[in-house]
Amino acid sequence: MKQITLYHNPRCSKSRATLTLLNERGFNPDIVDYLATPPDAATLKRLLDLLQLAPRALMRRTEAEYTDLGLDDPALDDATLIAAMVKHPRLIERPIVVVDGIRAAIGRPPEAVLRLLG
Q: Can you list the domains of the chain with their CATH numbers?
A: 4-117 (3.40.30.10)
Report the pLDDT averaged over residues 17-28.
97
Model pLDDT, residue 118: 79
Q: In sequence order, what E strands does the chain have?
A: 4-8, 30-33, 96-99, 103-106
Quickly list DSSP for 73-92.
-TT--HHHHHHHHHH-GGGB
pLDDT (tens digit per residue) in 43-95:
999 999 999 999 999 999 999 999 999 999 999 999 999 999 999 999 999 99
Q: 5, 9, 11, 12: which is the annotated catalytic residue?
A: 12
Question: pTM of the full predicted structure?
Answer: 0.95
Q: Is 12 a catalytic residue?
A: yes
> What gap in Å lies between CA 15 and CA 32, rounded to an integer?
11
| Percent above pLDDT 90 for the chain | 97
